[in-house]
C-alpha cells in the first residue's frame, strides 16, 4: 500500500510540475546559448525541423519527480526515426525470452536462409554499441512487426508504427523462422508470423525535400516517408522512462524484464564500443553518443554514463538518452532530433551531419549538463 501511495503521489507531482513552466527553463537557456553550434541552428530554425524533450529529475525521499520541457515537440510532424527504433525492439526481444522456453539470452540461433549465428545478448550489445542493422533485423524476425506495435500500445507507448527492417526497406510482411540450438545435436525452429500491411501515414512533413535518388536516377519530387517507421519524440521518451525508472509506472505499463535482464539492458545501453570489443579508432566513444561527446573523439570519463540510442539516416539525426554524472550528482533525460539536408535531395548521401547536426546535439547536451550542474549545486 505504501508503494502504491508513493506512486500516485509522485504521478500527481509530475502532472503538477509539468504544467508549471512560467520560469525560464534550462532547455530555454540552453537554446538561447551563444554557442555557435547552437546559434546557427536557432537563427534559422525552420529547415532543421528540430524537436526536443528534456526532463528535469528531482527526488523527494523515495519519489522521483519528472518535469518535462519541450521545444517544437509535435507527434503530428513526422521525422524519420532511423535506428532509434532498435531500442524498443531490443527491450521487447528480452521480454520475449520470458515467454519462450527454448530460448534464453545466450542461446545460439540463426535466421533461416542465413549463415550468421548469434544470440540475443550479442544482438542487444551490438545495436547499442555500434547500432548494428543486422542485429536489429534478427530480433524483428523473432518478434514480428504486429507484436512490436501491439505490445508498445498495451504499455501506453503511442503513437508508434514499426513497419520495416533497417539497412534495406523490405516489404516482406512474413517474418523468417529462427533456427535455435537446443543442445549440441538438436535444433528447434520458431514459427513465422504474417504481419499487417502498413497504411500510409497521414502526418505533417511526411513528404520532404524537393527530390530523391532511386536506382541512380534523380526524381524531382518530394521524398515520401508515409510507409516508413514512425516513432515520435513522445514515444521515444516514454520507452526511455520505463526502462530507466520502471518503478514510476503501473505494472501493466512496464516492460516484463527480470532484474537480471534489466541490469543487462542498462549495461548494454551505456557500454562504449571499446568495452564491447570494437576498434576504438573506428568506433570512438562518441560514435553512438551524440549528446556531450558526438563531436569529439575524446574518451568519455568514467563518472559519466550515457544510456541511449541514436539514429541517423536520410539527413535526420536523433538521440534519446538518460545522462548520469555521478561526480556532480547530475542526471537528466534528453531526446532530440534535427534534419540536416541543405540541398533538399534525399539518398544523395550529402547531409551536414558532421558540420551542423552532431555539433548541435553535442553542444545542446553540454549546455544542459552545465546548467544542471549549477542547479544541483
DSSP string, 60-122: ETTEEEEEEEEES--TTB----GGGGHHHHHHHHHHHHTT-TT--TT--EEETT----B-HHH
| Alpha carbons 56 and 68: distance in angstroms, whole number | 6
For residues 125 and 76, the answer to whether their CB atoms sit within 8 Å is no
Answer yes or no: are the C-beta atoms of 178 and 190 closer than 8 Å: yes
| pLDDT of res. 20 | 41
Backbone angles phi, psi at 90, to 5 degrees: -65, -45
Beta-carbon-side half-sphere exposure of residue 259 (alpha carbons within 13 Å):
0
pLDDT tens digits, residue range 330-347? 999 999 999 999 999 999
258 contact partners, CB below 8 Å, separation of at least 6? 98
φ/ψ of 348, rounded to 5, equals -100, 0
∠ CA 199-111-135 to the nearest 5 degrees?
70
Assign 328 a pLDDT band (cuts: 50, 70, 90). Answer: very high
Domain CATH code at residue 45: 3.40.710.10
Give the per-residue pLDDT at 11: 41
**Any idea what DSSP says for residue 275?**
G
Mean pLDDT across 224-241: 98
Q: Is the pLDDT of residue 152 over 80?
A: yes
CA distances (Å), 174 to each of 85, 163, 177, 265, in order? Answer: 19, 12, 9, 28
Which whole number is the average pLDDT over 350-370? 98
Supply the pLDDT for residue 169: 59
pLDDT in tens, 49-90: 999 999 999 999 889 999 999 999 999 999 999 999 999 999
Average pLDDT, the chain: 93
- Give yes or no for a contact between 262 and 244, defined as CB atoms under 8 angstroms apart: no
Please name which of 206, 106, 104, 87 lies closest in space to residue 148, comparing C-alpha atoms.
87
Mean local confidence (pLDDT), 357-362? 98
**Which range of residues forms the domain containing residue 109?**
2-376
CB 261 within 8 A of CB 105: yes
Model confidence, pTM = 0.92
Half-sphere exposure of 101 (CA within 13 A, CB side): 0
Question: Domain total for the chain?
Answer: 1
Of 35-39, 133-137, 169-173, 203-207, the one with minimum mean pLDDT is 169-173
Report the distance separating Cα 265 and Cα 257, nearest Å: 9
The pLDDT of residue 377 is: 82
Q: What is the pLDDT of residue 4?
A: 43
Q: What is the pLDDT of residue 23?
A: 66
Amino acid at each position: 500500500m505504501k508503494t502504491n501511495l508513493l506512486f500516485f503521489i509522485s504521478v500527481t507531482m509530475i502532472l503538477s510540475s509539468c504544467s508549471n513552466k512560467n520560469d525560464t527553463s534550462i532547455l530555454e537557456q540552453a537554446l538561447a546559448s551563444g554557442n555557435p553550434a547552437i546559434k546557427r541552428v536557432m537563427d534559422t530554425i525552420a529547415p532543421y525541423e528540430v524537436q526536443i524533450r528534456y526532463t528535469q529529475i528531482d527526488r523527494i525521499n523515495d519519489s522521483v519527480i519528472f518535469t518535462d520541457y519541450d521545444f517544437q515537440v509535435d507527434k503530428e510532424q513526422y521525422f524519420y526515426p532511423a535506428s532509434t527504433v532498435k531500442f524498443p525492439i531490443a527491450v521487447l526481444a528480452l521480454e520475449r525470452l520470458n515467454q519462450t522456453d527454448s530460448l534464453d539470452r545466450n542461446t545460439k540461433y540463426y535466421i533461416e536462409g542465413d549463415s550468421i549465428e548469434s544470440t540475443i545478448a550479442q544482438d542487444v550489445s551490438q545495436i547499442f554499441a555500434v547500432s548494428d542493422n543486422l542485429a536489429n533485423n534478427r530480433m524483428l524476425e523473432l518478434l514480428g512487426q504486429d507484436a512490436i506495435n501491439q505490445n508498445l500500445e498495451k504499455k501506453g507507448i503511442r503513437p508508434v508504427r514499426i513497419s520495416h527492417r533497417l539497412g534495406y526497406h523490405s516489404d516482406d510482411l512474413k517474418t523468417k523462422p529462427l533456427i535455435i540450438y537446443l543442445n549440441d545435436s538438436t535444433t528447434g525452429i520458431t514459427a513465422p508470423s504474417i504481419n499487417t500491411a502498413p497504411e500510409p501515414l497521414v502526418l505533417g512533413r511526411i513528404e520532404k525535400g524537393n527530390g530523391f535518388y532511386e536506382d541512380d536516377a534523380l526524381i524531382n519530387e518530394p521524398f515520401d516517408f508515409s510507409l516508413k517507421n514512425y516513432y515520435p519524440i513522445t514515444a521515444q521518451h516514454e520507452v526511455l522512462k520505463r526502462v530507466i525508472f520502471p518503478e514510476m509506472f503501473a505494472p501493466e505499463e512496464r516492460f516484463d524484464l527480470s532484474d537480471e535482464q534489466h541490469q543487462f539492458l542498462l549495461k548494454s545501453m551505456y557500454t562504449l564500443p571499446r568495452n564491447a570489443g570494437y576498434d576504438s579508432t573506428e568506433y570512438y566513444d562518441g560514435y553512438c553518443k551524440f549528446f556531450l561527446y558526438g563531436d569529439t573523439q575524446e574518451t568519455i570519463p568514467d563518472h559519466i554514463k550515457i544510456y541511449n540510442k541514436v539514429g541517423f539516416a536520410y539527413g535526420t539525426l536523433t538521440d534519446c538518452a538518460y545522462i548520469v554524472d555521478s561526480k556532480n550528482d547530475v542526471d537528466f533525460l534528453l531526446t532530440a532530433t534535427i534534419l540536416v539536408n541543405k540541398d533538399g535531395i534525399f539518398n544523395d548521401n550529402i547531409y551536414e551531419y558532421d558540420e551542423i547536426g552532431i555539433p548541435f546535439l553535442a553542444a545542446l547536451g553540454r549546455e544542459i549538463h552545465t546548467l544542471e550542474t549549477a542547479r544541483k549545486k
